[in-house]
Amino acid sequence: MFSPLESLSRSELVVRRLTDAIALGLLPDAEQLPGELDLAGIFGVSTVTVREALSVLRSEGLIETRRGRGGGSFVRTPKNGISQLARRRLDGFSLGELRDLGDVYAAICGASAALAARRSSPDDVDRLQRVADALEHAEKPDARRRADAQFHIEVAAAAQSPRLYHEEVTLQAEFGTLLWLAFGDDDSHAQMVGSCRAVVAAIAERDPHAAREAAEQRVADSTARLIDYQLSEVHA
């Protein structure tokens, strides 16, 4: 009840929302953003607030604004892709905060997988299999990360719980993008594919306990890798 209130201003919240969308690939490179009036309506803020947020994104090199006919604000994905955005955010977390986020994310993913094992349709399972195949065959780090994010979201969708789905998308933006920093090489990719297959198999077999356990372990392993990554960066 008496924990500190979130101290971000409305413009900072808009910046975070758009940065998250860029990091998740929901706003791809060169995508044109809606106009200022439209963004103000979408976020429920004033055009002045939107202007302030766009100015920050422009200064960070995440968008560019073009004048004249066909102009507007366009996404500019950093040269190092989403990894650069994730590293920026990782600097703001302590080890304790990362562990706490990992615990929460594991709980949400586990609950989603357990419900998916109970509620998913054959079409849902087929879709999960296709996403797992896409993850296995992805070659570049960014493609692997996008496929992994899509897998988490598809499991949440198969759970048929709007609240869990919302929490998954929120945590994917807040924490999932950080987990990607510790993955991308062939060894970690093989581990991710294997854990992904384990979750899908448990859901297909209608085994909620195994699905929850596999999903939670998947996040726990990823969190441990991220903490090792942060420690290595500190001592580098």
What three-state secondary structure class fits 68?
Answer: coil
Mean pLDDT over all residues of the chain? 88
Report DSSP letters for 171-231, one per residue.
Answer: HIIIIIHHHGGG--SHHHHHHHHHHHHHHHHHHHTT-HHHHHHHHHHHHHHHHHHHHHHHH
Mean pLDDT of 61-74: 88
Res 235: pLDDT: 63
Q: What is the pLDDT of residues 86-113, one digit of tens each?
A: 887 888 889 999 999 999 999 999 999 9
Mean pLDDT of 209-234: 92
Contact between residue 99 and residue 105 where contact means Cβ atoms under 8 Å apart = no
> What's the CA gap between 19 and 180, in Å, rounded?
16
Mean pLDDT of 202-210: 98
What three-state secondary structure class fits 130?
Answer: helix
| Residue 26 scores a pLDDT above 80 | no
Res 227: pLDDT: 93
Per-residue burial over 171-204, b if 16 or more Cβ lie within 10 Å, else e, is bbbbbbbbbbbbbbeeebbeebbebbbbbbbbbb
Res 140: pLDDT: 83
Helix 162-171 and helix 95-119: axis angle, to 10°?
150
pTM of this structure:
0.79
Domains of the chain: 10-78 (1.10.10.10), 82-234 (1.20.120.530)
| Residue 82 scores a pLDDT above 70 | no
Res 173: pLDDT: 81
Q: How many CB atoms lie within 10 A of CB 231?
A: 11
Contact between residue 109 and residue 219 where contact means Cβ atoms under 8 Å apart = yes
